[in-house]
């Protein structure tokens, strides 16, 4: 692992992508920042984090030797690496809110933003951005946010958390290299938030409907059992889970 530590940057993902465009990077090159001025989340959202309190990192992962028909397996592997990292620190009641928010009970503690580097019509690398709430204790206007410190009451060493994350990323990407796709998908689905429970959703037209999450497709679509015993697939931009 090659670690680049910064005091402040607009976005670790943007910085790492710039580096990757300028030179060949070592696999698992990591950019870590004490503070991001413009941290980014899924679907153009902003990731806000208190200075020096949380883990805000991006990891360069060479995926050119992976035979991935469905890129969503990169997201699944990353989500599971975070679950295992948090389990190693005894964080309770962990789940994955589709596609890749990490929750403890129903509180969000981590977000993931994966941006793929595509060359000659194939994915050559992934920039894996992770925002993990570690030692921050106040989240103004975010009632569903939590941190490791709020959950367990103790202060965590950010480097220790980072090294654990890299260890588990290597483990799950090794499984991808071995094409253990069924195992990864089953494990990911076992952590799916509200799986097999009646839930409420809102579609892209603002309509509210009820359904039961049954799993995901290989491409990463959410599979929801709706009325008339029909299982319908939804893309990320098509539906939001209300909870």
Q: Which positions ≥6 away from 1 have C-beta within 8 Å?
A: 28, 29, 30, 166
* Structure token digits, residue 232: 């319908």
**Domains in the chain: ranges and CATH:** 2-190 (3.30.930.10), 198-242 (2.30.30.100)
182-185: long-range pairs with CB below 8 Å, 24+: 184/73, 184/76, 184/77, 184/80, 185/73, 185/76, 185/216, 185/218
* pTM, full prediction: 0.93
- pLDDT tens digits, the chain, 243 residues: what are they? 899 999 989 899 999 999 999 999 999 999 999 888 765 555 555 555 788 899 999 999 999 989 888 999 999 999 999 999 999 999 999 999 999 999 999 999 999 999 999 888 889 999 999 999 999 999 988 899 999 999 999 999 999 999 999 999 999 999 999 999 999 999 999 999 999 999 999 999 999 999 999 999 999 999 999 988 999 999 999 999 998
Distance CA 123, CA 232 (A): 28
């Amino acid at each position: 692992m090659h670690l680049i530590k910064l005091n402040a940057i607009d976005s670790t993902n943007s910085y790492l992508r710039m580096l990757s465009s300028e030179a060949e990077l070592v696999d698992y090159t990591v950019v870590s920042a004490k503070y991001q001025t413009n941290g980014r989340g899924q679907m153009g959202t902003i990731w806000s984090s208190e200075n020096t309190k949380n883990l805000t990192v991006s990891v360069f992962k060479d995926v050119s030797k992976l035979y991935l028909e469905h890129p969503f397996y990169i997201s699944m592997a990353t989500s599971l690496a975070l679950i295992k990292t948090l389990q190693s620190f005894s964080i309770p009641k962990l789940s994955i809110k589709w596609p890749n928010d990490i929750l403890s009970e129903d509180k969000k503690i981590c977000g993931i933003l994966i941006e793929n580097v595509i060359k000659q019509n194939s994915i050559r690398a992934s920039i894996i951005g992770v925002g993990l709430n570690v030692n921050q204790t106040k989240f103004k206007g975010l009632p569903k946010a939590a941190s490791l410190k709020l959950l367990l009451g103790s202060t965590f060493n950010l480097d220790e958390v980072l090294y654990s994350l890299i260890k588990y990323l290597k483990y799950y990407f090794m499984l991808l290299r071995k094409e253990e796709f069924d195992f990864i998908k089953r494990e990911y689905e076992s952590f799916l938030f509200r799986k097999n429970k009646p839930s409420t959703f809102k579609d892209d037209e603002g309509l509210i409907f009820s359904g039961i999450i049954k799993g995901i497709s290989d491409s990463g679509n959410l599979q929801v059992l709706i009325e008339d015993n029909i299982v319908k697939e939804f893309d990320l931009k098509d539906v939001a889970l209300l909870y």
